[in-house]
Structure 1
Amino acid sequence: MLDSTADHAEQASAAQFVYLGRQPILDRHGALSAYELLFRAGAHNYAEVTDDAQATAQVVARAIGGIGVQAALGLHRGFVNIDRALLFNDIVHLMPPERFVLEILETVKFDALLARRLGELRRAGFQVALDDVVELTDDVLAALPYADIVKIDFLLTERAALPKLASMLRAQGKTLIAEKVETREDFELARDLGFDLFQGYFFARPQVLAAPRNRSPRPGLLRLLALLSRDAGIFELEAELKLNPSVVVQLMRLVNSSAFGLGRNISSLREAIIATGTRQIARWAQLLLYADSGDLPWRADPLVQLAGTRSRFMELAAGWLRPSDDDFADAAFMTGIFSLVHVVVGSTPAVVLEKLGLAPQIRDAIVLRSGPLGILLRLAEAAGEGADGAQIAAAVDAPAGFAALTPEVLAELNLSAAAWFGAHIEEAA
């Protein structure tokens, strides 16, 4: 009976708060250098990770929009575990690169596509760390030119192999972190071998941080997205955001966590809109929209999965067709999101979209299936049903260039989009 009561109390607490673990990373003198941010489902200090992408997404959401970067990291950087799906996901760009290190999981398969993506992220200012290295495998050797930091697992690495491993990595100019250091002997060995940073239970176990959970009402998010879709002015955005306090709280945390070149914190809503930019605001609102989907946890809600995969598929396809046209990709994502809004509010697409005053090209794509966005929506629906989308792309009414969406390309895009809902940044209720 006592165990049952304790379980109910923990579940009630988890419904009201979001949690985040952090473990210190120290320098050679014992001074704090950085934190690794870790997923925690509750106040208990262990991970319960069943999905790497989901865990990372929630860590980012909680660090930026829930607890806040300043509270989670202070003046230090945060290492965040990241899998292949998230490396190619826009969630990465919600993290200020000067505050976050992308720690690539050892399960990530390295190839030319990943090399190109890591190059892009490093040019954007991110540092890349390789996690849980125990030997110089082919994947590790291939990834080394694209990494700044290497974390050596002291629990699994053979002691006799450590000197050569450390020497080779130092010769290539990599910052070395000894992780899972649990004894003084391991710390002294790592220090003697020239390791730069140290992490493990010998120094400190992870600390669990908590913050009240924010709720974001759907009607307000819908209105906000509709304004963004038609390039509304700052005054309209400000007026709408004032009606959504929980979104404003997260927006202020987002802008105050990032270096926008202002050299100071933002205190007014108008300043926050200008500093953050409508693209970032839209990304937050899009991802929050389907997060609170009734009684089901978002991971189990088919509407959440359908909305996420459809919108992501359309965004990826738009980027494939027009690589330099971010506006087209954004419009494609919003078309996917709004194509299911009528299900959320229990109405028809025409009625809902007319009331929202949505951008004409998005409204027509959903109601009439017309224009490039309409064709992309038909492709997304076909992908979701396992139908042959290549026939739609090659049809006579398809715009120029759509024929490049071959069955092989569509299959790859659909596979990538399928990971999106698992990378949803808002945790379940």
Structure 2
Amino acid sequence: MSDPFSARSKPGHVKVLAQSAQDAQVAAEAPFVYLGRQPILDRSGALNAYELLFRAGAHNYAEVSDDAQATAQVVARTIGGIGVSAVLGHHRGYVNIGRDLLFDDIVHLMSPERFVLEILETVSFDAQLVRRLGELRRAGFQVALDDVSELTEGLRSVLPHTDIVKIDFLVTPREALPKLAAAVRAEGKTLIAEKVETREDFALARDLGFHLFQGYFFARPQVLTAPRNRSSRQALLRLLALLASDAGIIELEAELKLNPNVVVQLLRLVNSSAFGLGRNIASLREAIIATGTRQIARWAQLLLYADGGDLPWRSDPLVQLAGTRSRFMELAARWLRPSDEDFADAAFMTGIFSLVHVVLGTTPAEALDKLGLASQIRDAIVEHSGALGALLKIASAADERADSASLATAMEAPDGFEALTPEVLAELNLSAAAWFGAHAGME
């Protein structure tokens, strides 16, 4: 994390900043969003990439109280708020990322051709993480290690699972640099000298064979600003209803044309990964096809409850309930039917739409009948029928801290639901809560 403006208690540790409810409210209502970026240069001094940095306001320093939330906001603002082309041009963006988000859907909103996953120094490596990094690298992502300052056995063990190593010139003893750089180069990894602040440090890094350079000597982070893009909850609900009912491209295109704010964010989302096609996508129809309904649904859901409320998203109890319930139902559906993605998607949508009547101030039947929702989802919510209805009952009980496990083993429960043991349900609840926490800062 090459951000010398961060509020820190000591190198490598983010200082947690207290934020009052009033401060959060002001931030949520601010007319603009902000993003920091710092250049990463090659040996000739040409621009190679940017590191993308969280900024809460126009001031050029980071106020980070939650690493996952900061990363989520950086990604949301780059892709949907400002736009990848405006932020990065044709270069790559390095994004700081912690362990939880490495396993989360947010990774797949980023294009491997445009984003480098920069692993925070606080992340510990184990077999599960190594497998995940293998999956992401096979998908095309490059993985960078952040804030390296010494040659340890731990570093040697993780080098095979990464592509880039950023060595911290503010912390690393000068006498240790030659051996550290040589060991990384011997593994064929790209070496970045970060926090380079003097001409002497730049010359030393060049002599030691570093490939890329970043720091005050070259440029301080620049703060980018864009108007906050708010989308109508009603529009997002209609879009999600169409997606849940397997609507055709013509129907989706017609709905999106009525909602320019959503269209702007969708085009930014798809264009963030369109360079692999050799062209930008400019039409709605192309955007829908290229993005895919699953990604559009994910993005719309993240926007849905963020707009129009009186509280910041993270503080809104309705938002918390919708986010955790939908994710819980999706995870439970995957546990029950691991190979049935359609069932998992329907479960996710059922969780989202189960609270629509609260948003609209009406009954579930009235709200859903107006949306023309798929019958299996509508019946699950209104009548609690079918497997989705049973899952919704279990999710509702979990919301209220009631005995959800007994519902899974009841006589009327569908076949296979006995697999949702108390231990499994507890684990799914924790995973759902973590997912919401990671996404609660997206705008």
Q: How does 1:330-345 map to 2 (within 5 A)?
A: 330-345=345-360
Distance 1:110 1:401 in 2: 35
Identify the residue that residue 190 of structure 1 maps to in structure 2. Answer: 205
Q: How does 1:281-300 map to 2 (within 5 A)?
A: 281-300=296-315
User: How far is the alpha carbon of 1:250 from its aligned partner?
Assistant: 0.8
User: How far is the alpha carbon of 1:261 from its aligned partner?
Assistant: 5.1
Which of 143, 160, 179 is residue 128 of structure 1 equivalent to? 143
Identify the residue that residue 249 of structure 1 maps to in structure 2. Answer: 264
Percent sequence identity is 81
Distance 1:12 1:407 in 2: 39
Distance 1:86 1:302 in 2: 23
Distance 1:260 1:155, change over 3 A: closer
SS for the counterpart of 1:128 is strand
Distance 2:157 2:391 in 1: 36
Q: How does 1:13-412 map to 2 (within 5 A)?
A: 15-137=30-152, 140-259=155-274, 262-412=277-427
SS for the counterpart of 2:87 is helix
Q: Which amino acid aligns with 1:253?
A: R
User: How far is the alpha carbon of 1:137 from its aligned partner?
Assistant: 4.9
Q: Which amino acid aligns with 2:164?
A: I
Q: Which amino acid aligns with 2:132?
A: R
User: How far is the alpha carbon of 1:295 from its aligned partner?
Assistant: 1.7
Distance 2:321 2:312 in 1: 14
Distance 1:387 1:271 in 2: 46
Q: Which amino acid aligns with 1:55?
A: A
Q: Which amino acid aligns with 1:222?
A: L
Extract unaligned runs of 5+ from structure 1: 1-7
User: How far is the alpha carbon of 1:181 from its aligned partner?
Assistant: 1.4
SS for the counterpart of 1:107 is coil
Identify the residue that residue 414 of structure 1 maps to in structure 2. Answer: 429
> TM-score under structure 2 normalisation?
0.89
Distance 2:394 2:162 in 1: 37
Distance 1:97 1:326 in 2: 23
What is the number of residues matched between the two proteins? Answer: 419
> TM-score under structure 1 normalisation?
0.91
Q: Which amino acid aligns with 2:299?
A: W
Distance 1:181 1:288, change over 3 A: same
- Kept in 1, the 8 Å contact 2:302–2:442? The answer is no
Q: Which amino acid aligns with 2:143?
A: V
Q: Which amino acid aligns with 2:289?
A: I
User: How far is the alpha carbon of 1:142 from its aligned partner?
Assistant: 4.5
Distance 2:156 2:403 in 1: 39
Q: Deviations over 1:135-173 (max 9, x none)?
A: 345654443332111111222223332222222222222
- Kept in 2, the 8 Å contact 1:304–1:421? The answer is no
Distance 2:156 2:402 in 1: 40
- Kept in 1, the 8 Å contact 2:28–2:312? The answer is no
User: How far is the alpha carbon of 1:426 from its aligned partner?
Assistant: 6.2
Distance 1:174 1:390 in 2: 49
User: How far is the alpha carbon of 1:189 from its aligned partner?
Assistant: 2.1
- Kept in 1, the 8 Å contact 2:71–2:96? The answer is yes
Q: Which amino acid aligns with 2:168?
A: D
Extract unaligned runs of 5+ from structure 2: 1-22
Distance 2:167 2:157 in 1: 17
